[in-house]
Structure 1
Amino acid sequence: MQKTALIPYAHLPRAHHDRHVLTSTVDVFGAAHWLLAERAPQRGGDVAPFDALVVSVHPGGDVELTELSAVRARWPHLDRLPDGGFVVATSRTRRYEDADQVQVFDALGRETSSFSVGDAIEHLLVDEAGHIWVGHFDENPEGIRRWSSTGRLTWTSDDAHIPGLYDCYALNVSGTAAWACPYTDFPLVEIRPDRPDRPVTVRANRVWGAKAVAVHGERVAFYGGYREERDRLARGELTETSVEPTDVGLLTLPDGPAPGHRRVVSRGSRIYVQAEPFTAWGVFDLSS
């Protein structure tokens, strides 16, 4: 089976390796970000607000540091807003914490607002216009939704007629559009809320269980799957109604082995993969 190696993309500067990586992401403009704390969070119980450091590595290698004050998220998601601020959200929330689930920080690291987007966050990705896209896993039936950075709901999948939307396995946000591949039927769903004639396009798809998806023109690639297909890289071509498979291979780390425990972020034609100890990102680019 053909193997495709990830290309090294961004590294956490060694000066910050003594801190604990809470989470990491790559934003819509291609900058990589790490949310760091002095120590790992303890399991169970409440989390006292803590100060955190965001280390940003921009395309080209410039490094930027942003101190965030009074972060409250347990097991957080992170992304950057176009104005230089950050969004931090906890994936699980209890009823009395709802108003504090999502924190928005300005470019100086000061909290400007907080709100709730609902429990069970699988993906949280910000688009070029500053909309916050949230895909939920199966303990929350609300599917996929788009929010403003002030907590206003601007789009919901409730009336989108997406078949079998019980768990948003894969979500790709690029520009102001999104692509999703949800459990149980795993269709490829193209979402363009600002296109009035056809905001949602659903294509039948035979690739099950992918955790990431990349799209470039009429081509698509899915990464991940169940059990022995965990490292699968399946490619296909788009038609008006379906994804037609073309080939299947494996995606590996730059030095050859499978990624193992990893994070993935889907952005347009790119799938970013970060393996333990979560200090480096590699990239697969469908357009190259």
Structure 2
Amino acid sequence: MGSGQTALEKKAHIADIGEMMQPDALPQAPPYGPAIHLPALPAGWHALHYRVLANGELAVVIADVDFAAEWERIRSANGLVYPPSRILEMADAGTARLLLCADGEWEEGPSFPLEFAYPKVDRFADGRWLVVGSRTNKKSNARVIASDGTILARFMLGDGIEHVSVDGAGNIWVGWFDEGIYGNSDWHVPGEEWPPSSRGIGCFDDGGVILPLAAFPSAAGMIADCYALTAVDDGAWACPYTDFPLMRLRLNRPALWWANDLAGPKALAVDGRRVLAAGGYGDKANRLALLLLEDVEQGGSAHQLAEWALPLSRLAAPANDWSPMWIHPTLLTASYDTIHLINDGVWHRWRVGELAELAGDPQG
């Protein structure tokens, strides 16, 4: 990799081939509460997206179409193009259902037309659901759905969505990956010169109206990909590429940020001045790090207090020295003060306060 590479080229290089290093011998993090073995899905239905809600419940979007099998058929036929017309046709014709995990069983939620192959969901405090297509296919990709499946609103949140999350006030936080940040050229919002996604992170009301965010501090680095985004009661926390600052975002208030030594975290859980960051590049994909934030107004530092290993599944035989060493988990995310992992059908949780006590920092 030459020194003349752009940030996006470097990111693509890392994302495509990973970093193959010998993993550190880290202790495995003791989970908060018992591991939960997820029940089987209804016959003939396929999981598309898992979501941990604000109250700690687990939701899953399932569909009556099998995209994984269709992708395998396309690859086997050497006919891969994007977007594959067959995938779009299946999404248009498919039906989706929401399920909630309760007492070891799936509890049924609303059904609705699928429309998009890669949906993401969250739930408002009043019980309405937000369903968003990660890729727009040049049509409005967000729907607000009542508990009975009635579509209450439609609006655009842009292509290339990595994260979408509803905060405690009912505002919608969106983080885009690079194709959304540097794309969406046909998305125009009155009063805005550039599409909202060009900033990397945006906030909207429940009708899709963009809400004002203060300018992100230039000293924190550019946002070329929103790796981690967690909505909380009064805003959101984020950790974006390229410099991976920990960022505290609230409406009509300056963004706060803390420098740190992380690279590539995928999930953030926060409790006061303490942060659990999960994931990373290469051998650090199984990292769970506890950090303490300096109590400063702007541009402080986050000091790592402890580090553990997540129970990811290792590949038996990586193809070469540059192959990833971990099997990608079903879900690695955060909700408020808790990191959640679903791997091999088992749901694990780690709470900031529990691990802080273990690390000898119970007060933060």
TM range (shorter): 0.7 to 0.9
Aligned to 2:337: 269
Deviation at 1:177, TM superposition (A): 2.0
**Which residue of structure 1 aligns with residue 347 of structure 2?**
281
1:145 corresponds to 2:170? no
**What is aligned with 1:128?**
168
Question: What's the RMSD between the two structures over aligned residues?
Answer: 2.4
Distance in 2 between the 1:156 and 1:14 partners? 42
Partner of 1:56: 100
Q: 1:139: Cα distance to partner?
A: 1.4
Is 1:32 the counterpart of 2:34? The answer is: no
- Fraction of identical pairs, as percent: 31
Q: 2:327 aligns to what?
A: 260
The 3-state SS of whatever aligns with 1:179 is strand
Distance 1:224 1:160, change over 3 A: same
The correspondence of residues 170-209 of structure 1 with structure 2, limited to 5 A, is 170-193=228-251, 196=252, 198-209=253-264
The DSSP-based 3-state class of the residue aligned with 1:22 is: strand
Cα distance in 2 between the residues matched to 1:180 and 1:61: 32
Task: Please give the secondary structure, in 2, of the residue aligned with 1:287.
Answer: helix
CA contact (8 A) 1:213 1:222 kept: yes
The equivalent of 2:47 in structure 1 is: 21
1:112 partner amino acid: L
Where is the strand percentage greater, Structure 1 or Structure 2? 1
SS in 2 for 1:48: helix
Shift, 1:228, TM fit: 0.9
1:127-169 Cα distance to aligned partner (Å, 9 max, x none)? 2222111101111222111112211112446x22252211111
- Name the count of aligned residue pairs: 276
Would you say the 8 A contact 2:266–2:333 is kept in 1?
no
The separation in 2 between residues aligned to 1:125 and 1:190, in whole angstroms, is 15
- Could you tell me the TM-score, scaled by structure 1's length? 0.87
Aligned to 2:108, which of 54, 65, 74?
Answer: 65
Q: Which amino acid aligns with 1:4?
A: A
Residue identity matched to 1:19: W
Offset, 1:230: 0.8
Report the secondary structure of 2:56's partner residue: coil
Q: 1:137–1:168: 8 Å Cα contact kept in structure 2?
A: yes
* Alignment-mate amino acid for residue 260 of structure 1: I
SS state at 1:140 partner? helix
TM-score by length of 2: 0.70
SS at the partner of 1:3?
coil
SS of 1:228's equivalent in the other structure is helix
SS of 1:79's equivalent in the other structure is strand
Match in the other structure for 2:277 = 222
Give the 3-state SS of the residue equivalent to 2:283 in structure 1: helix
Check whether the contact 1:204–1:243 (CA below 8 A) recurs between aligned residues. yes
- The counterpart of 1:160, out of the listed 216, 223, 235, is 216
In structure 2, the residue matched to 1:86 is 129
Alpha carbons 2:65, 2:94 under 8 Å: kept:
no
Distance of aligned partners of 1:62 and 1:85 in 2 relative to their CA distance in 1, 3 Å threshold: farther
Residue 232 of structure 1 aligns with which residue?
Answer: 287
Residue of structure 1 equivalent to 2:148: 108
Which range moved further: 179-188 or 123-132? 123-132
Alignment equivalent of 1:242, drawn from 289, 301, 319 = 301
Q: Unaligned stretches of 5+ in structure 1?
A: none
Q: Distance in 2 between matches of 1:200 and 1:264?
A: 25
Structure number with greater Rg is 2
Asked whether the equivalents of residues 173 and 266 of structure 1 are also in contact (C-alpha less than 8 Å), the reply is: no
Distance 2:56 2:154 in 1: 25
Shift of residue 117 of structure 1? 0.8
- Deviating more after overlay: 4-13 vs 170-179: 4-13
